[in-house]
């Protein structure tokens, strides 16, 4: 089992078979009823004609075996060895043959009208397996079992059954009888042995389990006919409207799309990769059944399991990556120079030695050179091409771009895209590493391209024919959005480079100077040279190299521009330069992410993006930061609870509404005030449609920062909604279209519709849309339509008053906000229209949660909520500070106890930022945490911190929690022991004062009769209410030696005992420990 990755994003699981001589393994052969020519759909969806012509107007089957194509031709079957081969009659004399298919033994199965299903052996012996008047579709299951569809009639009202035969042809079962299954000619299977059957006149595709249980999988198809399973395990369906559809069995609705558009109705289809394996067609030592395949689906002798990876733009070792971990096969410590009039690229070592390489270059015009991965790129301004060479000897040439008009410059961006300056057509072209080239920008006479550290693309214009001082350096975002000029007034510039600080160095041809431009565009002369400067390049250690018109290659340092040496003389007009290791994947740590480039991620940008490396933390940026093959994983919702985003027409801010209706203003700001902007969320991003500028903006959900442009060029994008397959759909009212934007930002037209304004993706896989058909404002009249994944439109309701938005509940009922009618209308799946609820204010955007609760934003700033099952049960869910325009729900409002605090969400209270919090609920105990735990409107209001230590000050620090500060030593405290009469804090611990003697009430550090006298005065003072005597220096407990809470004769007696050194009497201190029993 092998897995090969294709440039189109498909993963081809298992090895293809057979090896079709003259046919590519991924070729899909298409036969038509209403056209004679047999066509081939290539792997990229392009369609080419073969030289094979069959009879017009008939269903003629096609099948592959052992690399040859077999085609029904009237009453015969012909065999073709290739698309241009002459057919050979393989069998003749059949009775109205239609569909053909090979079984696993190489027998050709044929359905003959009026006869049944026949089997023709390789030696020509024909056997009738099943007799029936109207046999049609044939399918051979992966385990060899045979399916045959039989019909009661071939017309629009005909129904069919499926006959199940053993691999030997014995009848086992008959399925789908009486189910409404219509006339079917196409059968295909997935890896689980499920069958996919076309239902031609009913426009449906059925799915049938291996035990014969059938269900309708897809509806709304245009007379589907042939069905085939591709080498990628996807199912392909031919339709009467000339389209070939395809989908993944794992997600049919989410992946269903048009694969190709042919010239006529599509009848029967088959893949060349069907049938038995051949031997070792490409002579690479691997049997075809064990081999792997080139990107375009054919075998290649340089591609096989465990092949050595070479620099040729191929996945030689079949590991899913092209040219990975390959340093350039070009000697390092060198600068490579294109020289005017020299037919090969020249190498100049850092020691000054000059030699020829084997890389060819054009003579007579300026040739651009740049390193890209392991290869060097070379433009051919004469032939109009961009080529790559895999070694200094010129090995492994690849033609990457053709049809360019005078390409004189090439540069490789930090994201791996190739940029080419086509001087002759005033264009800059861009090509992704495995994609198709397109025009990036139109610039007058583009001659140089460079990139800043923030990924801004710089394009410099210039020409010797232009007036001096008129050239400019233009700035563009990566998507081609124009940012204005960096510099103007250049005098016939030739080339430019950018250093690590963003400074731009420009060679000025006629001035014999190199100019320096700061990131702010400030200009200065960096240095002067003795001949017209042409190309300029930097190495990795801060040296610059300049090619001069007199043939010299000079070198200097960026920090010492006045010190210049002549490195070499190439004896002719030196033009463009390239240094290996600069801006490529093999220098030590180009992006300074702490991971050397040879250990950095192999994904695009892995070695040139500091946020992408093994072990990186995944953040919401549309990148695979941690190199695990997935993007933005685990970041779907930065909040524990679900929440609503609400936009406003008359305010720029965006509100966030928590599960209980708490409203907070976010850091999301609409770029425009006073217009309707749609909002959507997917993954970890939030998207805004900018009505006034025609842009779709994107920003990481819950993170600070500005919006970036995701797509642009729309007229008035009112609303945006994500479809089931992850594409973003755009209701462009001004253009009269609904557009589709892929996750990669590719925009295509989905359907034409008069003034669409509201969108919702239903659980049934259809897109629901409201649109105006006449009038505007209060007089606008519109409709509700549903659109299948292929763009087919069905009208559900008409005569709606200004229908602004729509949502669909789990039962398929649609709810429409009719703005100027002050109502929400309900439309059943069958199209029955009724008023769900009448409101007091203009309804705008709608949203629905997983419990079928509908949220309505209105012109009064409220969000109204009601159950879809009971629209009259309306409540005000939230009140914002301005009119509510559009809504989107991020996450889910559970309606239960989201924070598991024992209080239902609807009765719970919220943190300051609107979140539910398990520590916050009515009746909670207030603790020191900076929160209003008990929901009384006050935070940390009581003494909440107590460590039971009298020698610390207990402090509540809010969100920082409790802190305990040790008090100074010798502060009087109480250690809780009544036997220790004087306690003090020492080092944060409360303990008995070691200097205190029992009975020393005047603290003269001795116990005598004066202490007894002081105790008597204390007792008298207490009895008379007088102040304590002056002699008393200790607290009351230190005088109350028997702990009976009074100063009495007993206490005075004990003081006298202590004074004369006698132990306390046994009746007071039975254990003779010096502490009265009553104190213990």
Nearest to 73 by CA among 51, 96, 50: 96
Q: What is the pLDDT of residue 533?
A: 92
815 falls in which pLDDT band (50, 70, 90)?
A: very high
Contact 711, 747 (CB under 8 A): yes
Second CATH level (architecture) for the domain 997-1079: Orthogonal Bundle (1.10)
CA 771 to CA 781: how far, in whole Å? Answer: 8
Between the CA atoms of 437, 443, 444 and 447, what dihedral angle is there, to the nearest 10 degrees?
-70
619-658 as b/e: b if 16+ CB within 10 A:
ebbbbbbbbeeebbeebebebebbbbbbbbbebebbbbbb
The chain-wide mean pLDDT, for the chain, equals 84
pLDDT higher than threshold 90 for residue 77: yes
Second CATH level (architecture) for the domain 340-578: 6 Propeller (2.120)
Q: Name the phi and psi angles at 377, rounded to 5.
A: -95, 140
| DSSP state letters, 156-214 | TT-BEEEEEE-TT--EEEEE-TTTT-B----EEE-TT--EEEEETTTTEEEEE-TTS-E
For the chain, give percent helix, strand, coil, nearest 5.
5, 40, 55
Contact 537, 578 (CB under 8 A): yes
Contact 524, 550 (CB under 8 A): no
Q: pLDDT per residue over 891-904, tens digit each?
A: 776 556 667 788 87
In the chain, the largest separation of any two C-alpha atoms, in whole Å, equals: 144
Helix (H, G, I), strand (E, B) or coil at 905: helix
pLDDT higher than threshold 70 for residue 8: no
- Regarding beta strands 11-13 and 116-120, do their DSSP bridges make them parallel or antiparallel, or are they unpaired? unpaired
Between the CA atoms of 253, 254, 255 and 258, what dihedral angle is there, to the nearest 10 degrees?
60
Superfamily of domain 643-890: TolB, C-terminal domain (2.120.10.30)
Q: pLDDT per residue over 784-803, tens digit each?
A: 999 988 888 999 999 999 99
Q: pLDDT per residue over 1005-1059, tens digit each?
A: 888 888 888 888 888 888 888 888 988 888 877 888 788 888 888 888 888 888 8
Q: What global pTM score does this model have?
A: 0.47
pLDDT higher than threshold 60 for residue 296: no
pLDDT higher than threshold 50 for residue 874: yes
E strands present in 224-368? 227-229, 235-238, 243-247, 257-261, 269-271, 334-339, 344-349, 354-360
pLDDT higher than threshold 60 for residue 760: yes
Q: Name the phi and psi angles at 825, rounded to 5.
A: -100, 150
17 falls in which pLDDT band (50, 70, 90)?
A: very low
Of 130-144, 266-280, 1018-1032, where does mean pLDDT reach its minimum?
Answer: 266-280
15 falls in which pLDDT band (50, 70, 90)?
A: very low
Angle of CA points 1009, 1011, 1014, to nearest 5°: 115
Share of the chain above pLDDT 90, in %: 38
Nearest to 905 by CA among 662, 688, 608: 662
Superfamily of domain 18-271: TolB, C-terminal domain (2.120.10.30)
- Regarding beta strands 663-669 and 756-761, do their DSSP bridges make them parallel or antiparallel, or are they unpaired? unpaired
pLDDT higher than threshold 90 for residue 328: no
Q: What is the pLDDT of residue 822?
A: 94
Q: What is the pLDDT of residue 259?
A: 93
Nearest to 286 by CA among 276, 272, 299: 299
585 falls in which pLDDT band (50, 70, 90)?
A: very low
Share of the chain above pLDDT 70, in %: 89
Same fold, 340-578 and 643-890: yes
DSSP 8-class letter at 779? G
Q: In what order do the strands lie in the sheet with 334-339?
A: 354-360, 344-349, 334-339, 574-578
Residues belonging to the chain: 1080
| Domain range list for the chain | 1-15+284-324, 18-271, 340-578, 643-890, 945-993, 997-1079
């Amino acid at each position: 089992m092998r897995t090969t990755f294709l440039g189109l994003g498909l993963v081809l699981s298992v090895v293809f078979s057979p090896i079709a001589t003259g046919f590519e393994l991924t070729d899909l052969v298409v036969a038509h009823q209403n056209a004679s020519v047999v066509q081939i759909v290539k792997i990229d969806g392009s369609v080419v004609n073969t030289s094979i012509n069959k009879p017009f107007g008939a269903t003629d089957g096609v099948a592959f075996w052992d690399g040859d194509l077999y085609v029904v031709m009237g009453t015969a079957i012909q065999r073709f060895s290739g698309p241009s081969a002459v057919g050979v009659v393989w069998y003749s004399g059949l009775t109205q043959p239609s569909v053909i298919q090979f079984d696993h033994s190489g027998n050709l199965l044929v359905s003959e009208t009026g006869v049944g299903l026949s089997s023709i052996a390789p030696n020509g012996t024909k056997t009738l397996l099943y007799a029936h008047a109207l046999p049609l579709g044939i399918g051979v299951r992966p385990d060899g079992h045979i399916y045959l569809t039989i019909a009661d009639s071939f017309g629009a009202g005909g129904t069919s059954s499926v006959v199940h035969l053993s691999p030997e042809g014995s009848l086992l079962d008959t399925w789908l009888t009486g189910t409404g299954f219509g006339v079917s000619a196409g059968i295909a299977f997935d890896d689980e042995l499920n069958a996919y059957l076309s239902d031609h006149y009913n426009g449906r595709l059925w799915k049938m389990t291996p035990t014969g249980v059938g269900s309708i999988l897809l509806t709304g198809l245009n007379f589907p006919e042939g069905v085939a399973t591709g080498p990628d395990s996807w199912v392909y369906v031919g339709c009467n409207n000339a389209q070939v559809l395809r989908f993944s069995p794992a997600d049919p609705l989410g992946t269903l799309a048009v694969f190709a558009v042919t010239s006529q109705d599509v009848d029967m289809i088959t893949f060349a990769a069907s049938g038995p394996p051949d031997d070792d067609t490409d002579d690479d030592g691997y049997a075809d059944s064990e081999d792997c395949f080139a990107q375009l689906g054919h075998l290649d002798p340089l591609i096989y399991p465990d092949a050595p990876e070479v620099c040729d733009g191929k996945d030689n070792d079949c590991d899913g990556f092209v040219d990975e971990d390959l340093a350039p096969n070009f000697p390092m410590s060198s600068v490579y120079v294109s020289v005017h009039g020299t037919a090969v690229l020249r190498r100049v070592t850092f020691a000054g030695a000059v030699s020829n390489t084997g890389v060819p270059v054009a003579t007579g015009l300026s040739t651009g050179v740049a390193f890209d991965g392991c290869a060097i790129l070379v433009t051919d301004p004469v032939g109009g091409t961009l080529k790559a060479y895999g070694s200094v000897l010129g090995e492994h040439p690849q033609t990457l771009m053709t049809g360019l008009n005078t390409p004189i410059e090439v540069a490789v961006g930090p994201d791996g895209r190739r940029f080419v300056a086509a001087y002759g057509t005033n264009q800059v072209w861009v090509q992704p590493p495995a994609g198709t080239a397109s025009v990036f920008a139109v610039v007058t006479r583009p001659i140089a391209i460079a990139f800043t550290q923030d990924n801004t693309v710089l394009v410099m214009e210039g020409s010797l024919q232009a007036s001096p001082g008129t050239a400019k350096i233009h700035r563009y975002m990566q998507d081609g959005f124009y940012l204005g000029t960096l510099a103007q007034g250049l005098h016939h510039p030739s080339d430019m480079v950018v250093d690590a600080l963003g400074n731009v160095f420009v060679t000025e041809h006629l001035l014999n100077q190199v100019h320096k431009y700061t990131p702010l565009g400030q200009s200065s002369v960096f240095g002067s040279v003795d001949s017209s400067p042409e190309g300029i390049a930097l190495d990795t250690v801060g040296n610059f190299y300049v090619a001069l018109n007199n043939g010299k290659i000079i070198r200097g340092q960026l920090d010492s521009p006045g010190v210049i040496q002549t490195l070499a003389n190439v004896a002719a007009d030196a033009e463009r330069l390239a240094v290996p290791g600069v801006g490529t994947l093999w220098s030590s740590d180009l992006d300074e992410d702490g991971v050397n480039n040879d250990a950095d991620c192999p994904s695009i940008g892995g070695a040139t993006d500091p946020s992408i490396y093994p072990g990186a933390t995944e953040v919401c940026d549309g990148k695979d930061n941690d190199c695990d093959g997935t993007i933005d994983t685990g970041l779907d919702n930065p909040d524990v609870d679900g929440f609503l985003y609400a936009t406003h027409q008359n305010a720029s801010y965006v509100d966030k509404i928590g599960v209980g209706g708490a409203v907070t203003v976010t850091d999301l700001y609409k770029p425009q005030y006073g217009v309707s902007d749609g909002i959507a969320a997917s993954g970890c991003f939030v998207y805004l449609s900018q009505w006034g500028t025609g842009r779709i903006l994107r920003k990481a959900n819950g993170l600070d920062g500005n919006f970036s442009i995701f797509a642009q060029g729309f007229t008035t994008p009112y609303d945006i909604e994500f479809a089931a397959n992850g594409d973003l759909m755009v209701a462009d009212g001004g253009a009269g279209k609904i557009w589709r934007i892929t996750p990669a930002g590719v925009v295509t037209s989905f359907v034409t519709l008069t003034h669409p304004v509201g969108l919702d993706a239903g659980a049934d896989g259809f897109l629901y849309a409201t649109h105006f058909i006449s009038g505007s404002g209060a007089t606008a009249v519109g409709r509700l339509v549903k659109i299948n994944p292929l763009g087919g439109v069905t009208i559900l309701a008409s005569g709606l008053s200004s229908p602004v938005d729509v949502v669909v509940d789990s039962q398929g009922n649609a709810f429409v906000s009719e703005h100027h009618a002050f109502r929400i209308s309900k439309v059943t799946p069958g199209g029955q229209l009724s008023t769900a609820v009448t409101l007091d204010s203009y309804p705008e955007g709608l949203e629905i949660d997983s419990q079928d609760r509908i949220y309505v934003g209105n012109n009064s700033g409220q969000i109204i909520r009601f159950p879809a099952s009971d629209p009259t049960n309306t409540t005000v869910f939230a009140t914002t500070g301005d009119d509510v325009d559009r809504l989107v729900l991020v996450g889910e409002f559970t309606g239960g106890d989201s924070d598991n605090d024992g209080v239902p969400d609807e009765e719970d209270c919220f943190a300051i930022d609107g979140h539910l919090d398990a520590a916050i609920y009515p009746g909670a105990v207030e603790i020191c945490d900076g929160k209003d735990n008990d929901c009384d409107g006050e935070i940390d209001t009581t003494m909440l911190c107590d460590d039971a230590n009298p020698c610390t000050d207990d402090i509540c620090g809010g969100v920082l929690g409790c802190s305990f500060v040790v008090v100074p030593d010798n502060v009087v405290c109480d250690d809780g022991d009544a036997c220790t009469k004087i306690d003090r804090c020492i080092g944060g611990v409360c303990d008995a004062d070691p200097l205190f003697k029992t009975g020393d009430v005047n603290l003269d550090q001795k116990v005598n009769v004066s202490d007894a006298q002081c105790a008597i005065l204390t007792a008298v003072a207490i009895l008379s209410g007088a102040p304590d005597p002056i002699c008393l220096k200790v607290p009351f407990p230190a005088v109350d030696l028997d702990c009976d809470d009074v100063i009495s004769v007993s206490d005075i007696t004990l003081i006298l005992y202590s004074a004369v050194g006698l132990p306390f009497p046994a009746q007071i201190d039975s254990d003779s420990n010096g502490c009265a029993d009553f104190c213990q």
